[in-house]
């Protein structure tokens, strides 16, 4: 459908952008790449009175990498992540997950900030943010604040952002060279939303055991989340067939899927275990 | 709002409502009807155009967001003298039937081959996964794109 009518502004500074958002009684929305917001407007799921285009704001399209981790500006596109050679070592889990985001043309416009603020339960970037304990920097009328991923995502398409706040940066903690990772998702068609996806990593300890396991799930239930019981099944053990089976079983039991038109709850529960199994096998290989 | 950008090498200035998509602007304001509109919500790929060299969905971009950009539509990828190597390859391999989706496939394939003239069949399939064709079954399209690689290696050709 054609889009509903709205006003449009394209401010040159973050301060102006925040002031514009604050001036519309919560009915204004920022637009970055628009790859989620535009379809939502076409379906009338979103009908903002004002769109505040972020494309002229300076410095939001940078990827900064240092000893503390990877800082992704909110306007960084999927394409920019895939083109950044440094990320193969600086954050291989991010790079692996982003390969599954949508289709070629969407990756040329879609942004990190847009995906994180849209907070689709099946989207890869919010899943990576949760799995890696990312920190979101946001700017609003009251100034800047930093929100941990676990406090940022509140439910399907719902975040802790206030109507006048704009996400400026997503920071992923530093990635040690010895860390092992796996990312697996299953969709009927390449590039479509996952019916279940797993992002995980762990750090090898001395003596063949591993610790610091992080297991995140997307596409199952109403939000992206860590799976504490699956993590507990991995921590302190060697990643062998027995550990993998226990972790997969724990993950299947821990998720709370619902039936929908794409898959039944039972299918999603089983698929979650299979994804954990495949991700752990690829991490250990 | 008055918005200025470049389309197929020519500067244009249009007066549009903010809600007008780039796809509708190209078709209705600029009468470039080669860009087709299928789903209007970013699923089918028929409206794919190049913006500053990148293949994007013109239904998921506002015309006002194109301010200052360099837009190339399927019309900009042809000439009056002869079929281009990519067009010839689509014809040779029967990579179209009704033709509705073809502009999206041509623009997408052109962007891919310009950047990655050495791409393999897997990469072509991955990139084309964002475009829907209900006639061909895709195999002929993949073959056409693979066969056109030689021309892009030679000249970075149009």
The interface predicted TM-score of the complex, written ipTM, equals 0.95
Average pLDDT for A145-162: 97
Binary contact (B61, A109; C-beta < 8 A): yes
> What number of residues does chain A have?
285
Q: Where exactly are the structural domains of chain A?
A: 7-53, 63-173, 182-284
Nearest beta carbon to residue A190 from set B17, B42, B126: B126
Beta-carbon count within 10 A of B54 CB: 17
> B1-24 pLDDT, tens per residue?
999 999 999 999 999 999 999 999
Residue B133 has pLDDT above 70, yes or no: yes
Beta-carbon count within 10 A of A25 CB: 8
> B68-119 pLDDT, tens per residue?
999 999 999 999 899 999 999 999 999 999 999 999 999 999 999 999 999 9
Q: In 3D, which of B132, B119, B30 has the Cα closest to residue B71?
A: B30
Best residue of B53, B112, B130, B145 to probe chain A, by most A CBs closer than 10 Å:
B130
Binary contact (B19, A35; C-beta < 8 A): no
> A11-64 pLDDT, tens per residue?
999 999 999 999 999 999 999 999 999 999 999 999 999 999 999 999 999 999
Q: Where exactly are the structural domains of chain B?
A: 2-77, 85-155
Residue B121 has pLDDT above 90, yes or no: yes
Question: What whole-number distance in Å separates Cα of residue A25 and Cα of residue A10?
Answer: 19
Tokens of A162: 């206030």
Question: What whole-number distance in Å separates Cα of residue A129 and Cα of residue A119?
Answer: 11
Please state which architecture CATH assigns to domain B2-77. Answer: Roll (3.10)
Chain A residues in contact with B67 by the CB 8 A cut-off are 10
Q: Do domains B2-77 and B85-155 have the same CATH topology?
A: no
> B28-41 pLDDT, tens per residue?
999 999 999 999 99
Residue B55 has pLDDT above 90, yes or no: yes
Q: What is the mean pLDDT of chain A?
A: 96
Share of chain B above pLDDT 70, in %: 97
Nearest beta carbon to residue B60 from set A38, A51, A53: A38
Question: Quick check: A215 and A278 in contact, CB under 8 A?
Answer: no
Per-residue model confidence (pLDDT) at position A207: 87
The phi and psi torsions of B79 (rounded to 5 degrees) equal: -140, 165
Please state which architecture CATH assigns to domain A63-173. Answer: 2-Layer Sandwich (3.30)
Tokens of B121: 């069949």
* 3 state DSSP class of B94: coil
Q: Which DSSP string do the residues of B134-146 spell out, in sequence order?
A: SSS-SHHHHHHHH
Question: What whole-number distance in Å separates Cα of residue A183 and Cα of residue A177?
Answer: 17
pTM of the model: 0.96
Q: Which DSSP string do the residues of A144-159 spell out, in sequence order?
A: EEEEEHHHHEEETTEE
DSSP state of B93: T
Q: In 3D, which of B69, B65, B64, B37 has the Cα closest to residue B50?
A: B69
Give the CA distances from residue B25 to residues B18, B36, B72, B73, B108, in Å, rounded to whole numbers and listed in that order: 11, 12, 13, 12, 20
A182-284: CATH superfamily: CO dehydrogenase flavoprotein, C-terminal domain (3.30.390.50)
What is the third-level CATH fold of B85-155?
Answer: DNA polymerase; domain 1 (1.10.150)
Model confidence at B156, in pLDDT bands (50, 70, 90)? low
> A88-133 pLDDT, tens per residue?
999 999 999 999 999 999 999 999 999 999 999 999 999 999 999 9
Give the CA distances from residue B122 to residues A30, A164, B86, in Å, rounded to whole numbers and listed in that order: 36, 44, 19
Instruction: Output the CA torsion sign for B129, B134, B136, B137.
Output: positive
Please state which architecture CATH assigns to domain A7-53. Answer: 2-Layer Sandwich (3.30)
Per-residue model confidence (pLDDT) at position B106: 98
Give the CA distances from residue A279 to residues A186, A201, A245, A265, B111, in Å, rounded to whole numbers and listed in that order: 12, 9, 12, 21, 33
Question: Quick check: A197 and A218 in contact, CB under 8 A?
Answer: yes
Nearest beta carbon to residue B65 from set A6, A53, A191: A53
| Of the candidate ranges A183-187, A192-196, A209-213, B6-10, the one whose mean pLDDT is the lowest | A192-196
DSSP 3-state percent helix, strand, coil across chain B (nearest 5): 40, 15, 40
Residue B158 has pLDDT above 60, yes or no: no
Question: What whole-number distance in Å separates Cα of residue A57 and Cα of residue A30?
Answer: 12
């Amino acid at each position: 459908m054609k889009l509903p009518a709205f006003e449009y502004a394209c401010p040159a500074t973050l301060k102006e952008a925040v002031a514009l958002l604050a001036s519309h009684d919560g009915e204004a929305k920022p637009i970055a790449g628009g790859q989620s917001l535009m379809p939502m407007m076409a379906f009338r799921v979103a009908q903002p009175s004002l769109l505040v285009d972020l494309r002229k704001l300076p410095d939001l399209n940078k990827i900064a990498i240092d000893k503390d981790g990877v800082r992704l500006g909110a306007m960084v596109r999927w394409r920019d992540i895939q083109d950044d050679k440094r990320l193969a070592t600086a954050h291989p889990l991010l790079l692996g997950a982003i390969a599954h985001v949508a289709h070629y043309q969407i990756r040329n416009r879609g942004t990190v900030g847009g995906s994180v603020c849209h907070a689709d339960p099946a989207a890869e970037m919010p899943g990576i943010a949760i799995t890696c304990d990312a920190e979101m920097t946001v700017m609003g009328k009251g100034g800047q604040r930093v929100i941990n991923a676990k406090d940022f995502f509140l439910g399907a398409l719902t975040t802790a952002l206030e109507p006048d706040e704009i996400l400026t940066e997503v920071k992923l903690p530093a990635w040690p060279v010895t860390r092992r990772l796996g990312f697996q998702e299953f969709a009927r068609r390449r590039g479509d939303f996952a019916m279940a996806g797993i992002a995980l990593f762990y750090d090898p300890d001395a003596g063949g055991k591993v610790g610091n396991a992080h297991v995140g799930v997307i596409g199952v239930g109403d939000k992206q989340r860590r799976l504490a019981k699956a993590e507990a099944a991995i921590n302190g053990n060697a990643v062998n067939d027995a550990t993998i089976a226990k972790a997969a079983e724990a993950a299947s039991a821990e998720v709370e899927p619902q039936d929908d038109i794409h898959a039944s709850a039972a299918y999603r529960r089983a698929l979650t275990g299979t994804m954990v199994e495949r991700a752990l096998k690829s991490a250990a290989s | 709002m008055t918005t200025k950008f470049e389309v197929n090498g020519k500067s244009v200035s249009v007066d549009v409502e903010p809600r007008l998509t780039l796809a509708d602007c190209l078709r209705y304001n600029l009468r470039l009807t080669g860009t087709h509109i299928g789903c209007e919500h970013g699923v089918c790929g028929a409206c794919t155009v190049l913006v500053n060299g990148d293949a994007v969905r013109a239904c998921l971009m506002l015309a006002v967001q194109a301010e200052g950009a360099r837009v190339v539509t399927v019309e900009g990828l042809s000439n009056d003298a002869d079929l281009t190597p990519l067009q010839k390859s689509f014809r040779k391999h029967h990579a179209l039937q009704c033709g509705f989706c073809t502009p999206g496939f041509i623009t997408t394939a052109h962007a891919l081959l310009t950047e990655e003239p050495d791409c393999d069949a897997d990469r072509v399939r991955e990139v084309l996964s964002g475009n829907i064709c209900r006639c061909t079954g895709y195999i002929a399209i993949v073959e056409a794109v693979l066969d056109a690689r030689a021309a892009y290696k030679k000249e970075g050709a149009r």
